[in-house]
Amino acid sequence: MNYTGPKVKLSRKLGIAMTPKAVKIMDHKPYNPGQHGKRKKFSKLSDYAKQLLEKQRLRLQYHISEKQMGNYYAKATHLEGNTAELLLQLLETRLDSIVKKAGFARTIYAARQYVQHGHILLNGKKCDIPSYNVKSSDVISIKEKSRKMDCILEAMRNSAAPSYIEVDKANFSMKLAQIPKREDILIQCEVSLVVEYYSR
């Protein structure tokens, strides 16, 4: 089951600010939540605990369930190439991730909601599946009636897309220019430890 509690608390626990509110609070409280939060150090964790922590960090940044993460890892192991890089590529090319990274949503939570509520078009047709694997030939756009939403316009004003995503802000559209390489994917996670966790 996905975590449904306070996002700031989860962000502090895993050491990753996932929302603008979490960024502000973690600037003042850069330690774990709870009465004994200041005493906890990630460096004192066992090898297994470190692997588990990194797996949870990766899950959080893409807002996916444990079952989904396991399925993505299994798929990555059946592809030819570096498992860690392939895993990231599969996650990074999810529809909700592309919407967020292109700058049309401030958080992955907002991007997921836009997709599920039908604000996103895929090749001109509504697509409400956040896990859809975007291909380089796909054109993603914001539905005409949704282009005046303040939350989307605010996100676009302060956004800068990575090099592997082509963004046309005038037409509220985006396109995956190429499959991203590991060095182009900006995440806070030791992916090698995630691979170790699942390969036990």
Q: Residue 143 pLDDT more than 80?
A: yes
Q: How confident is the model at residue 188 (pLDDT cuts 50, 70, 90)?
A: confident
Element spanning 141, H or E: strand 139-142
Look at residue 159 in the predicted model and tell me its pLDDT: 81
pLDDT of residue 1: 44
Is residue 161 over pLDDT 70? yes
Judge: domain 94-176, CATH 3.40.50.150.
no
Q: How confident is the model at residue 39 (pLDDT cuts 50, 70, 90)?
A: low
pTM for the model stands at 0.82
Distance (Å, whole) CA 198 – CA 90:
16
Q: Nearest 5 degrees, angle CA 46-CA 89-CA 78?
A: 80
Fold of 7-90+186-198: Ribosomal Protein S4 Delta 41; Chain A, domain 1 (1.10.1050)
d(C-alpha 109, C-alpha 119), whole Å: 14
Cβ contact 93:133 at 8 Å: yes
- Of 167, 153, 88, nearest in space to 119 by CA: 153
| pLDDT tens for each residue of 93-135 | 999 999 999 999 998 999 999 999 999 999 999 999 999 999 9
- The encoded tokens of residue 82 equal 């570096």
Please report, for the chain, the start and end positions of each structural domain, with discontinuous segments joined by +. Answer: 7-90+186-198, 94-176
How high does pLDDT run on average in the chain? 85
Q: Nearest CA to 2 among 61, 58, 66, 52?
A: 66
Looking at the DSSP bridge assignments, the partners of residue 125 are: 122
pLDDT band at 19 (very low <50, low <70, confident <90, very high): low
Question: Does pLDDT of 9 surpass 50?
Answer: yes
Q: Which residue has the tokens 């599920």?
A: 116
Q: Identify the three-state secondary structure at position 149.
A: coil
Question: What pLDDT is attached to residue 35?
Answer: 46
